[in-house]
Amino acid sequence: MSCPFPSLISPYADQVNQETFSWLVASGMIDDPVELARYREANYGRLGARTYPYADHDMLRLVTDWCVWLFAFDDAFCESDRRAAEIARALPQLLTVLDDVDDLAGVRVENPFARAMLDIKGRVIASANADQLDRWRSVTKDYLFAQVWEAANREDAVVPTYGDYIFMRRRTGAMLTVFALIDLATGHPLTPDDWRHPDVRAITESANDVVVWDNDLLSYAKERHGVNSRNNLVSVLARHRHRSIQHAMNHIGRMRDEAILRMLVLRSELESLRSEAVTGYVRGLEHWISGSIDYSLTSTRYTRAWQGTSAPRVIRHERH
């Protein structure tokens, strides 16, 4: 998995890792002791430390807590046998939290995921301008609705078509929700015109594709015998393009390398804007690619599934 982008880690990595785990325990999103032990062992705080190495302590806590919220929601709703209707019924409280810009004073929030999201949203409000907040809320809603689509595929044992999968994976992967926090972490907000710039949109889409396709490769060993095995690009290519598992993985490797090349071309073109906000955002996208690879190759969330298996060889980690 070639990666031309720098690999860095925040000096707050260990501190934030402990603080985020304590936040997770207090949130009640994960209440099973065995599962909590797995979360402690996986060191999720180091993902934030690698993907936002430039963030100050408070902002690193925010983005790391949000990443852990996404992992917890994914494990509870998206990698479980929960039916689409169950996920749909969980949406009202979550959407209420996102839609109500106030602090929901006097409203009882019972769902632990909604309570934790309310805490995250409050910290986003404290750091974001109106455009940044709206961007994060909008893409988070897209992510939540996309989980219903994915659950319906699980429920009906459907392997989505290639076109549907590529389109929806940009939403089910939640990457736009974490990319929306990059310019909060850099301290240089993107303007609405920056965000709508076609090259900014294009480089965001390419970065999104690289991270989620890498995740499909890295998590295939973990997912291939689970309830979510059909919602993986390896499975989609094997079913609809009649490829072997190894050939599907090789093809994804070529796809993600082409997307990285597009990012390099777009980065060069965006430099002509001479915008500190855009430059910081592009570097943030690059840190997400290098950081997610580095984290995944060392976290027990992924490495445990590789041990003792005969899964196809997919990892060739290169730095340029």
Q: Tens of pLDDT along 198-234?
A: 999 999 999 999 999 999 998 887 666 555 566 789 9
User: Is the CB of residue 13 less than 8 Å from the CB of residue 271?
Assistant: no
pLDDT value at position 311? 47
List phi, psi (to 5°) of 318.
-125, 145
Structure token digits, residue 162: 């290639």
Q: Of 254, 256, 251, 258, whose CA–CA distance to 236 is shortest?
A: 251
pLDDT value at position 2? 85
pLDDT value at position 319? 46
| Beta bridge pairs of residue 2 | 318
User: Is the CB of residue 171 less than 8 Å from the CB of residue 252?
Assistant: no
User: Is the CB of residue 300 less than 8 Å from the CB of residue 40?
Assistant: no
User: Is the CB of residue 179 less than 8 Å from the CB of residue 212?
Assistant: no
pLDDT value at position 106? 52
Averages of pLDDT over runs of 10 residues in the chain (320 residues) are 92 97 96 93 94 98 98 80 76 89 59 93 96 96 92 86 94 96 97 96 98 90 64 86 86 95 97 96 98 90 60 46
List phi, psi (to 5°) of 10.
-70, 145
User: Is the CB of residue 151 less than 8 Å from the CB of residue 127?
Assistant: no
pLDDT value at position 154? 84
**Distance between CA atoms of residues 292 and 42, nearest Å:** 13
pLDDT value at position 25? 96
pLDDT value at position 241? 78
| Beta bridge pairs of residue 319 | 3
